[in-house]
Chain A
Amino acid sequence: MLVWPLVVAGAVAPAGPDRAWSALADNRPQDVLRQIRRDADSRAHRLAWAAARIGAQPATDASMREAEAVLAELESGTDELAAEAAYLRARIYQLHLNTPDFAQAARLYAELAGRQPGSHWAQLGLVKLGLLKLYLLPDLTDPGADRLAAAEALLPRIHEPLLRRDLELQIGQAGIVLHQPQARFLPHLIAAVEAGGITGNAREDLMVQIGVLSERAGDWARAREYFERYLAEYPTNVRAFTIREKLAEVKRRLAREGGA
């Protein structure tokens, strides 16, 4: 009875943050914007609002600036929410503005990692900073830049195993497209797959890659190991025929060189 006038008037009762988190997780940012006001009382609500503003369509620079203003206010704390806000702010500059500002994004990630190095969001930010260094900073006009080394330098600062794995994988893949020597990037691919948890085609590709690249480098023992593991996991895949042939060849080589 009491809420009836509100319902009639079209107002919506304030929602707990869980409802907003669920809507965000379900890729329904517009629902969050309907539930929460920009100047909501709780910081969690304001963070949810800013995240929804980033995700809602149409995504314009003006909406990103609105989100950034809220995030800038939230990041002034020292808790995990502040770190999350700082991370999202960097993401706006890296990904969501019509003309990204990669240098500014890199600066924000670095500041966050300096301020709250143990935070999950700082750790995730270091992975994204690694991507920037691999492909975008400095830009392609600097052919002498050792892009892999710049990203590798971030690895010791990432303590979360899954995030470290993700950056290892990115360094490995970047090594291929940047035509780096195999010895520079293959260890990163191996570290990524051995860290575990990579699923789907990405895992299949990695297993084949390590086997084939090891074979190309003449590391027959490692090639055999990964070919055998691949065939055990994916015996009927389209690549299985070629890998069986390669495995037979690798075994012949090992036998000939006494490494079997």
Chain B
Amino acid sequence: MRRRRAKFGWVLLVGAYAASVFWFLTRAEPVIQRRDVTIYFAHWQIERGPPDGINAAIRRYEELNPRVHVVQLQIPGATIYPQWMRSNLAGETGPDLMEWGAWLPGQKDIPARYFAPLTAELAKPNPYNVGTSQEKIPWQDTFHDKLLAPKRDSPDPGQIYGVNITESTLRLFCNVELMKEILGRVVVPKNFDDLRKILAQVQDFSRRTGRTVHGLAGSRDTTRAVAQSVFVAPLLGVNQRLDDGGTLYLYNRQVLAAYLAGRWRYSEPAVRAGLQLVRETTNAMKPGFIQLRRDDAMIEFLRGQALFFFYGTWDATSLRRLASFKIQPMKLMQAMPDDPEVGRYVLGQGGEGIGETSLAMYLNKASRHPAEALDFLKFLTSVPGQQLFTDASLWLPAVNGAVVPEEIRNFRDYQEGISFGQAPYDMIGTEVSMNWDRNFYQLSGENGSAEKFAAAMDAAMPAAIREDLKAELRATLVLVKPQDPVIVGWAGLAGDKARIRREESEAAQTMSEGLALQMKLQLEQAK
């Protein structure tokens, strides 16, 4: 008995030793770093593709810069990333480069508090573009959209805090084999009415064969994307009516304020027409879709239970690698003036713009190696860096000059037309979005209707919109107030850099203050 116990002990000891040797050789960090500088690059794009693309760029960068080691941190998004980001930034333990998005709830103050503005750097050419078509061009202008979103989402209207790594748009991913089975051939919808007819044929096919097949893979997330795409066509006239300033672009706060001023309602005919289109598309999803998430819709599509999966091109690589069938990306065309249902409200062809660059990376103010981190960011967004990224990830490059791989070339085939930017009637703030989700059952399904949903929204909106506008005002003031000591700081320092930063901060603060006062005025006028 004693001998057996001793033998077991030895086995345990040897096993533990072997496991620790394995761990040490394969997983552990080296005791002595071989490179002088390690920078950390954190993001939540853990889909198939981006990690490979970023790794490809890192490998090349480390060849060019033997002093520097770049570590890619992949943090799951949505629920974990925001808390992880906030706690690390507050504790000054955050990575050198971090992804951030303006839509992350409760995180609007992050850039002004924790990130360094890149405006001055963006005005200079990117040194890694020497010998490429983008040589001598200011870094900012090498981006396909000239950094539309980082400019729009900047806490200071004149500053740019982030740079984007990729470009994305929304596409209708079609199961080609299933379409051939249902329609006998591949039909690319040229307008919304074509899509309407295809969805009706899918429903008919399902009824005839008894197979569970839906037109669109369903979930709450993908519904949002569908709604934003189809809702806007009948609203172009409303947008024009609200555009007092003539910017041809509506910001959230303008849509909120216009509602409070009684200048639009969900129940007005053009908005109801938009809702009707949302209803038509979501009726092609399976029952209960509003309880499901994006991954559920993807599984439904991959199982061949839905003809289309509508979401961002950021999912294209995952879909291609996971699907057992051929996938064809198509555009979700908006309703046109000749649409039999809503055409009378449509002014013309709605546009997709040129797509927006995305996956915005920011430089942590508390970075221990800001020069190296910025340098890596420049490489990653240079023509050679972006070529490595796009080839390995099959995600679009964000900059001009990189060759788009054949497989994803049609992602950049954007629909030209009228666009009012966000014009976000369904996404105009936290309270409004919650009410949209809460009441969505009144829009879709057999018992739903555009009229019922519009009535419910109009009942809830005055209070919800007031709350959202107040929140927007608070968020703006949170950014304005800390600028006073910052300006005093820059004023105390000598040199041109300090002078320029002071001037920029003063201008940006005055602009933000003006916006806050406009919102305050709009809230008070609508009392």
Contacts and interface: CB of A to CB of B under 8 A. Distances in A.
B492 A21 contact: yes
Contacts of A205: 245, 247, 249
A200 interface: yes
A197 B148 CA distance: 18
Interface stretch (B10-18, B149-157, B178-186, B264-272): B149-157
Contacts of A238: 148, 249, 351, 353-354, 419, 421
Given A51-B488, A140-B521, A95 B481 contact: yes
Contact of B485 (A24, A162, A234): A24
Interface string A103-141: 000000000000000001000100110010011100010
Interface string B480-501: 1110111011111100001001
A64 B131 CA distance: 55
B116 to A, nearest CB: 9
Interface stretch (A7-15, A206-214, A251-259): A206-214
A175 to B, nearest CB: 10
A91 B484 contact: yes
Contacts of B488: 21, 24, 47-48, 51, 84, 88
Given A55-B482, A127-B510, A241-B351, A209 B247 contact: yes
Contacts of A236: 144-146, 354
B246 A44 contact: no
A25 B498 contact: yes
A243 interface: yes
A17 B491 CA distance: 12
A169 interface: yes
Nearest to B492: A21
A177 interface: yes
B457 to A, nearest CB: 25
8 interchain residue pairs of minimum CB distance? A24-B489, A238-B353, A212-B246, A25-B489, A21-B492, A55-B485, A135-B517, A51-B488
A155 interface: no
A240 B151 CA distance: 17
A249 interface: no
A76 interface: no
B455 to A, nearest CB: 30
Contacts of B152: 201
B361 to A, nearest CB: 18
Interface of B: 112-113, 119, 144-146, 148, 151-152, 154, 157-160, 243-249, 351, 353-354, 365, 416-419, 421, 477, 480-482, 484-486, 488-493, 498, 501, 503, 506-507, 510-511, 513-514, 517-518, 520-522, 524-525
Given A24-B492, A205-B249, A239-B419, A170 B160 contact: no
A54 interface: yes
A166 B159 contact: no
A23 interface: yes
Q: Interface residues of A: mostly helix, strand, loop or mixed?
A: helix
Given A135-B518, A198-B158, A241 B365 contact: no
Given A131-B513, A201-B148, 15 more contacts: A22-B493, A24-B492, A27-B112, A59-B481, A95-B480, A135-B520, A199-B158, A200-B119, A200-B154, A200-B158, A234-B146, A238-B419, A238-B421, A239-B421, A241-B416
Interface string A16-42: 011011111111010000000000000
Contacts of A29: 485
Interface residues of A, number: 70
Nearest to B348: A245
Contacts, number: 186
Interface in A211-252: 211-213, 215-216, 234, 236-243
Contacts of A95: 477, 480-481, 484, 513
A200 B144 CA distance: 15
A70 interface: no
A241 B418 contact: yes
B158 A237 contact: no
Contact of B517 (A131, A197, A216, A237): A131
B355 to A, nearest CB: 9
Nearest to B519: A177
A242 B517 CA distance: 30
A163 interface: yes
Contacts of A216: 246
A208 B353 CA distance: 16
A215 B354 CA distance: 25
B489 A202 contact: no
Contacts of B490: 21, 25
A209 B251 CA distance: 14
Contacts of A72: none
A52 interface: yes
Contacts of A179: 244
A173 B246 CA distance: 11
A128 B486 CA distance: 17
A52 B416 CA distance: 50
B489 A166 contact: no
B7 to A, nearest CB: 55
A166 B20 CA distance: 64
A102 to B, nearest CB: 11
